[in-house]
Amino acid sequence: MKRSAVACILALAIGLIAATPGVAAHTRPNILWVIIDDMSANFSCYGETLIDTPHLDEMAKKGVKFTNAYVTAPVCSPNRSAFITGMYQTSIGAHHHRSGRGRLQIQLPEGIRPVPELFQEAGYYTTITGWPNQGRGKLGKTDYNFEWNKEMYDGADWSERAEGQPFFAQIQLPGGKHRGGTRESALKFANRMEQKFGSKTDPEKVVLPPYYPRDPVLLEDWAAYLDSVRLTDAFLGEILARLEEEGDADNTVVIFMTDHGISHARGKQFLYDEGLHVPLVIAGPGIAAGEVRDDLVEHIDITATSLALAGIEIPASMQSQNILATDYQPREAIFAARDRCDETVDFIRCLRTDRYKYIRNFLPERPHLQPNRYKDGKSILIALREAHAAGTLNETQEMLFAPTRPAEELYDLAADPDELHNLAADPAHRKQLLALRGQLQEKMKAIDDKGAESEAMYDSDMDAYRNPKAAGSPREEILEQNIALMKKWAAEGK
């Protein structure tokens, strides 16, 4: 018998006694997270009309659907660092995208641990993989901004667990990344989806947010994105079917969520709802069927909720909350942060209540669309910049190209769901502005927000970003130019 198998069996025996005395192994539910890249709540059960997503719709009917779920970071690695620990990424120093990858590394604060370790100690078999059938031997996407022990995952597939052993599994899906970043890749993907489903989303029927022009490139991209939602839903159907086929469906709680919103100019990487609002559906044993929750929840809450469902004690220091607890007190506001993304330095914080969004730009002298090699290489950004240069954007769309940003933004989401009309300077909203400004300051202090990145850490991570083998190539030159600009602006106090 393999060492890992022996360890798992021993951990099971010990964990069952320690975590849930008197509870037999077969009564403890499996916990399965299905986490999607780069996708907003564009599912039919959330109101999307151009596509059908029958599998998530059915899951929502069998469980609870959260209509106001938000991420605390609108980009992959800070988000994943947050939900795997149940902590705000800004509290644990993991808030800069793809940080700690160079010579300077990031250690979790004392007492903070990734949740797979807690499941392991309670006797669960822990896995992380992709779909479909990622070889059943290859670990799935992690992308954590801190040092972690790979042994916290027992394997890449729950089929390797001991008989009767519960599992904690994560399946990571590419989601919106399926469409790629170029017009050509989006059209190629759409044609693949037409072959798979018998149809593809018609770009002419796409309804874009008002801050984007009806440019053919953007319409085709959004249509391909919606087809990526359809594919994601089909994969979810396959995952749920596997649980049924293997006899695990009745004892598995499935949590479906995305890691942030759609990758677009005002979505991914930004604190508007396009980047923060995500779907969250939970279904399985003990979960009320057909429930719809409209209260505000944060994506980190899946961590404490999952521990509670498994009968594992939630660490007192964990900022995540069990949103299914009978004594759960709904949040009055959600907190989110955007920091450095790749080479592009930024520092933005926000609070969102059920009515208002308050955003604090700590670097207001910088443009909204700062240079960024990753985003600027996308066809949609190229098309937007060309339209701006040609003068064909309307006043609302030109907001994307403002040379500076207001230090504070305040939006009445009931009257202005697209977050177009900044009320921060409106005397009629002065009271609300002051209240949210104070609440954000208190929140940042309470969670020990680590704030800006040191120059040494930035340099360390930029060394990790550089590709010596491609030195002198156009892509590497863009990176070097952007790094130099970030340093220039910082020296100027911008």
* Complete DSSP assignment for 357-421: EEEEES-TTS-SS---HHHHTSHHHHHHHHHHHHT---HHHHGGG-SS--SEEEEETTT-TT--S
Measuring CA to CA, which residue among 485, 179, 443, 221 is closest to residue 334?
443
- State in words which class domain 337-454 has: alpha beta
pLDDT at 133: 63
9-64 tens-digit pLDDT? 434 443 443 444 334 445 799 999 999 999 999 999 999 999 999 999 999 999 99
Q: What is the pLDDT of residue 8?
A: 44
CA distance 322 to 302: 7
Query: Distance between CA atoms of 126 and 253, rounded to whole angstroms?
Result: 15
What is the per-residue pLDDT for 27? 77
Of 136-140, 205-209, 297-301, 424-428, least confident by mean pLDDT is 136-140
Q: Regarding beta strands 356-361 and 408-412, do their DSSP bridges make them parallel or antiparallel, or are they unpaired?
A: antiparallel
Domain 3-325 carries which CATH code?
3.40.720.10
Cis peptide before 209, with omega less than 30 degrees from 0?
Answer: no
The token pair that represents 65 in the structure block: 């659907």
Asked if residues 7 and 1 have their Cβ atoms less than 8 Å apart, the reply is: no
Strand-pair partners of 194: none
Ranges for all domains in the chain classified under CATH 3.40.720.10: 3-325
Which residues make up the CATH 3.30.1120 domain(s) of the chain?
337-454
User: pLDDT, tens digit, for every residue of 187-237?
Assistant: 999 999 999 999 999 999 999 999 999 999 999 999 999 999 999 999 999
Q: How many residues are there in the chain?
A: 494
Q: Is 413 exposed, middle or buried (0-12, 13-18, 19+ CB in 10 A)?
A: middle
At residue 7, the pLDDT reads 41
pLDDT (tens digit, 9 = 90+) per residue, 382-395? Answer: 999 999 999 999 99
